[in-house]
Amino acid sequence: MDVDQGKLEEFMHRAVVDLGAAASAALVLIGDRLGLYRELARGPATPLELSRRTGTNERYVREWLGNQAAGGYVAFDAESGCYSLTPEQAMALAQEDSPVFLPGAFQILQAMWQAEPRIQERFRDGGGLPWTEQDRSLFEGTERFFRPGYLANLPSSWIPSLQGVEAKLREGATVADVGCGHGASTIIMAKAWPRSRFAGFDFHRESIETARRRAAAAGVADRVTFEVAPATEFPGDGYDLVCHFDCLHDLPDPRGAARRAREAVARDGTWMIVEPFAGDRVEENLNPVGRIFYAASTMLCVPNALAFHGDALGAQAGEARIREIATGAGFRSFRRAAQTPFNLVFEALA
């Protein structure tokens, strides 16, 4: 076999970068959980100073800082021996409500590694792994990863992109948020439109209990309810808006969920579907974002659907498949209403 030395070196460089990123993922979690990033965002520090400010051991902190500086996650000044966060690094690593906050994604990675032995067996037997049996880091990580994007886009651009929905919410509408998880999207909408009422549904009881606590802490519990219910059987009808945020592709029965959304929505109501950004063909998704979503789909999304012998859409389903599901459920129109580098926002009208 003839080997192109240049191509081999190029591939090995890419692999070394990936190995460094994978090896450093655990250190990102440590930096987040011990407050190392947040403290660095307050001001530069030597390893000793940072260890004192965070109540940690200097020898571990010194090694952690070396790794983080080598990866470009913190800045290092050789003359002073101080480490710091640039404003951009702080946005990504230390500011929970920043639209580019990253540590939640690393918690999702932790869950994926925890699931690896079981998913390896599923490759052989074709079975699944329910969301409810994943590592607990997945639930918090999912909330922390998606919430900043919802906070940045949901009230300001996604809802306004839907025909007539924002006016209804201002006047007082009813909304069903299906697959709500910890309720981040539900609570963001409730705070933005105080005259409307919101109901969040999820089949994971622990997530619903967390969502109720989140609503109480946010001061919206009088207008928000959370109930345990699957996407095909959530209660209520006549909703002005039914939402599925980053979850339709996870569901065992996405077509059944679409039919239930059509039944539950008012005669002039709207179904909003937010899905991971994806093209309709594999070659359109061979990029850094697609790589992440295919990995999450392999380890989290498809296993959940297959655990219930469902139709596993996967996180890279694409617009054409979502359109077919919506129109097949009886919605009279379907369009792409908005998008970000990570999400597609679809509008289906009853």
Domain boundaries, the chain: 5-93, 103-349
pTM over 0.75: yes
The segments of the chain whose pLDDT lies below 50 read none
Check residue 342 and give its pLDDT: 94
Q: How far apart are CA 55 and CA 52, in angstroms?
A: 5
CATH code linked to domain 5-93: 1.10.10.10
**Contact residues for 26 (Cβ-Cβ < 8 A; gap 6+):** 110
Q: What are phi and psi of 10, to 5 degrees?
A: -65, -45
DSSP classification of residue 327: H
Q: What are phi and psi of 161, to 5 degrees?
A: -75, -15
Q: What are phi and psi of 148, to 5 degrees?
A: -60, -40
CA dihedral 292, 298, 303, 305 (to 10 degrees): 70
Check residue 145 and give its pLDDT: 95
Check residue 50 and give its pLDDT: 98
SS3 341: coil
On the CB side of 50, CA atoms within 13 Å amount to 29
SS3 65: helix
Check residue 1 and give its pLDDT: 80
- CA distances to 163, 258, 259, 262, 327 from 330, in Å: 18, 9, 7, 7, 5
User: Which candidate, 239, 201, 194, 200, places its Cα nearest to that of 220?
Assistant: 194
What is 103-349's CATH topology? Answer: Rossmann fold (3.40.50)
Consecutive H or E run containing 15: helix 5-33
Check residue 350 and give its pLDDT: 95
Q: What are phi and psi of 45, to 5 degrees?
A: -160, 150
Q: What are phi and psi of 66, to 5 degrees?
A: -60, -45
Q: Is 153 left (phi over 0), alpha (psi -120 to 50) or beta?
A: alpha
